[in-house]
Amino acid sequence: MSRAPRSKDSRKRRQRGLVLLTLLGLLALVGLIVLLVLGWRINEKFEGRRWTLPARVYAVPLELYVGLPIGADRFTDELARLGYEPNAQAARPGTYLRRGERVEVHTRAFRFADGAQPAQRLKLRFEQGVLTTLSNERGRDVPIFRLDPLLIGSIHPSQGEDRLLVGPAQVPALLPEALKAVEDRKFDRHHGVDPEAILRAAIANVRAGQVEQGGSTLTQQLVKSYFLDSRRTLGRKLEEAAMAVILDARYDKADIMNAYINEIYLGQDGSRAIHGFGLASQFYFGKPLEELKTHEIALMVAIVRGPSYYDPRRQPERALERRNLVLKLLGEQGLLTTEEVSAASKRPLDVIDQASQRRTYYPAFLDLVRRQLRSDYEDAVLTEAGLTVFSTFEPLVQADAERALRDALAVLDKSPKKQARGLEGAVVVTAPQTGEVLAIVAGRKPSVGGFNRALDAKRHIGSLAKPMAYLAALQTGEFTPATLLRDEKISLKNADGSKWEPENFDRRVYGSVTMVRALSQSLNLATVNMARDAGLKNVARSYVELGLETTPPAYPSLALGAVNLSPVEVAQLYNTLANGGFRAPLRAVRAVLDEQGKPIKAPELQVDEPTSAEAVYALERMMIQVMERGTGRGAKDALPQGLTVAGKTGTSNDYRDSWFAGFSGGHLIVVWMGHDDNRPTGLTGTTGALTAWTPLMARLNTSSFEPIMPETMEERWIEYYSGRETSPNCSGSAVAMPFLLDTPLPQSETCPPGSQPRTFLDGILDLLDGDAESGATPATDAEGMIESAPDAPPQP
C-alpha cells in the first residue's frame, strides 16, 4: 500500500520531463529555423549583389595633345577640380608639381569604356595659352592622353543611399587597422560578438546613468547597417548578435572588413545618404580613398562614432578633438610613431568646403542624363545595378557657362532698371555635329538642385521663332534672300472678337524690305505677312522637321513666338539649323558599362535630314547677317577677330523673356533670362541674354561657322535694302547671299554687277544714299515683340 504514491509521483516526474524535453526540442527546432532563416538572409544578400549601387556619371575626360589651346593656369584649375594635390615630386597618383609654365602630373589609373588606362607620370609645357610639350617620364612624346574623368554625380533614389564601391587594393593599409584599434580591438579574435566589451560597456553606462559606451563589434555594426533597421529593442539586439556570429562563421575577416568599409554610414548630403569610405572620401576631401593622408584617415575613423555629432563642417572643433584622440590611440597601438602622431595632430581638418564639394555636382545635367537613360533602363537598374555612365558633359565648358551667366546677372542686378534685377537664367551648350549636350546651367545656383529651368521652364520664345517661319518660306521655292516682303500693318480678328494688330519694335512701318533685312533686323510686320503667304501650317511643320516632338498650333502669332518652349527644346531646333538641317537628337550619354565594366549597348547617334539643304543654307547665311548688321551685331567686337557666328535674338511680349540662340562652327549656345513669376524684365534679347552669350562664345575654343553651299546654289551680291543684284566693289550695302543656279534677279540701277568702285567718298555716299532711300535706321536693340498670343487662330 505504501508504494502506490511513489509510483504515481514517479509517473508525474517522467511526464514533466517529457514535456520539458519536448519544449526544449521545440525551442531548439525554432532556434534552428531562426538560424537557418538568418543564415539564408545573410547568404542571399552577401553572396549576391552585396550593395545597392547607384549609376555613377562621369564627364568627358580632358584630352591632352600638343596644340591644345589651354594654359598652365587653366590646366591646374582642372587638376584641382579632379582633386589632384600639389606635391614636391608628384610622387604618387593624384599629385602634380608646377614650375611656372611647366607641369609634372602623376595621373590616376582609370577604366574607360574602351579599356583600362594605367597611372602615368607626364611632363607638360605651355606657351601663350597652348600646350607645346607632352611627354612621359622617360622623355618620349605622348601623342594624346586622357585624364581621369570628373565624377559629376550619381543616379540614386530620391531618398536613398549612395556609395562608391572600393576594393581592398583601393583601401589605405592604415584604415582597417585604425578601425580595429578604435572601434574593435579584438576583431581578429572574436567570433562576431565580444561579450567582454558588452559587459564593460554595460557597467560603464550604468555608472554614468546614460549611454556612454557601445559594446558592438565592427561585425555587429555591419549587420545593423546592412541587414536591420534602426529599432533598438532587446529582440533586435539578439537578432543582431546572432547574425554577427553567423556572418563571422561563414566569411573571412578580410571580407567582413571590406564590406564594412563599403557599407558604414558616414554622413548626409541633403537627401543623399553617404555610405562607405569610398564616397565619404570624395564628399569630405574631394579625392579617392587611396590618396588620403594620415590625418585625413584619422578624421574618417573619428566620424564613424557619430556622423552628425562629429560633422567636420558643422562641428569642426568637436571633430578636431575626436580626430586627435584617434591619432593618439593609433600611436598607443603602435600603428603610428610619436613623430607621425605629432605631425598629423598639427594638421587642420583639410575638409573641402561645401561650395567646393558642390562644384563637382551638376544636378541640372544629371537630370537630363537620368531622363534619357530611363528610356532604356528601369529605375531599379539605374539606382541599384552599379552602372558606369560616360556622359557628354565637359567641365571646362560648364565652368565658362556658369561664369558667363553669373557675371551677366551680377551686372543686371546693379541696373537702374529695377525690373532687370534679381533675374534667373539658363544656358544650354551643344556640339551641333553630334547633338551632344556639353553643359547646362539651370539658374543662379547651378550646383543646387530644384526646378530645372533649362529642361522645364516653358516660356514664350519671342523672335527666336522667326527662323522657323523663314525656313518654311524658303522651302516653298517662292522666296529668296532678295525677295521683297510687305512690311505693312495687319489686323486680324481673334476667336473672342478682339483684334490682333502686331507692330514692329520701334512702331515704324518700312514698306517693302528684303527677306535678309527683315530677319536680321527682326521686323514683325514683314515676318507675319511672309508667314501667311508661305502657309501657317508649313511654319508649324518646320518645328517638327527641326526636332520638336509636337506640332505647335498654326496661328499667325506663331511666326512671332507665340509658342512656349524650354531652353533645351530651343537648343534642339537651333542645333539642327547649325548642323545644316541634319537633325541629331540631343544626347547626354556616350556609353554605359555594367558593374563588371562590360560595355552595354550605347545610345546610337541618329542623324536625319528632314528639310531642304538649299533652304537651310540660305537661312544660315541670313542668320550670319543678324550678327553682322542686325540685332546681334553688338557682340561682334567682343568676339575673337575673324570668328564667324550666326544667331537670333528673342524677346517675348512685355519684355518678359530675354533670349539669344547662336552658333559657331563647333558650338551652339542658348541663353534665357527672365523672372520665375513671369514679371517683365525690361530687357530685350540684346540687352539681356546676349550679354551672357557673347563672353561665353568668346571664351570657348571654337571655330568659325562656315556652312557648305549645296552644288545647286551659287553666291550672288545683292543690295541689302533693295534686293537688286550689285557689285561688291561699289555698293556699301552689298551683301553676298546664296541663290539657286540661274535665279533671275533685277540689277542695281546705280551699281550693277561688274561695276568698278569710283572713289572712297563715292562708296560712303552710296551707303548713305542706300540708307536714306530705304528709310533704314542703324541696327539697334530693336527686337521683334508680339503684342498678344491668341489661344485660337485669328481670322482676317
Cα gap 771→452, rounded to integer Å: 45
Q: Which residues does residue 718 pair with via DSSP β-bridges, in sequence order?
A: 725, 735
Amino acid symbol at 540: A
What is the separation, in whole angstroms, between the first and last Cα of the chain?
127
DSSP, res 686: T
Pairing of strands 492-493, 499-500: antiparallel
Q: Are 76 and 102 in contact (CB under 8 A)?
A: no
User: In terms of residues, how long is the chain?
Assistant: 796
Residue recorded with cell 557675371: 407
Q: Are 242 and 251 in contact (CB under 8 A)?
A: no
Cα gap 442→448, rounded to integer Å: 9
Pairing of strands 668-674, 713-719: unpaired
Amino acid symbol at 175: L
Rg of the chain on CA atoms, in Å:
35
Cα gap 507→501, rounded to integer Å: 11
* Cell numbers given for 175: 584604415
109-138 burial code (b ≥16 CB/10 A, e <16): eeebbeeebeeebbbbbbeeeebeebeeee
Give the closest residue to 517 by CA, choosing from 720, 782, 655.
720
Cα gap 212→209, rounded to integer Å: 9
Q: What is the 3-state secondary structure (H, E, C) of 480-535?
A: CCCCEEEECCCCEECCCCCEECCCCCCCCCCEEEEHHHHHHCCCHHHHHHHHHHHC
Enzyme catalytic residues:
183, 463
The count of other CB atoms within 10 Å of the CB of residue 28 is: 10
DSSP, res 644: -
Residue recorded with cell 536714306: 772
DSSP readout, 743-766? Answer: ---PBPSSS-TTPPP--HHHHHHH
Cα gap 420→408, rounded to integer Å: 11
Give the closest residue to 179 by CA, choosing from 94, 288, 89, 256.
256
Cα gap 718→625, rounded to integer Å: 13
Cα gap 670→735, rounded to integer Å: 27
Pairing of strands 272-275, 265-269: antiparallel
The count of other CB atoms within 10 Å of the CB of residue 200 is: 13
Give the closest residue to 599 by CA, choosing from 109, 112, 59, 166.
112
Residue recorded with cell 532604356: 376
* Interacting residues of 651 by C-beta distance below 8 A, sequence separation 6+: 462, 463, 657, 658, 659, 683, 684, 685, 783, 784, 785
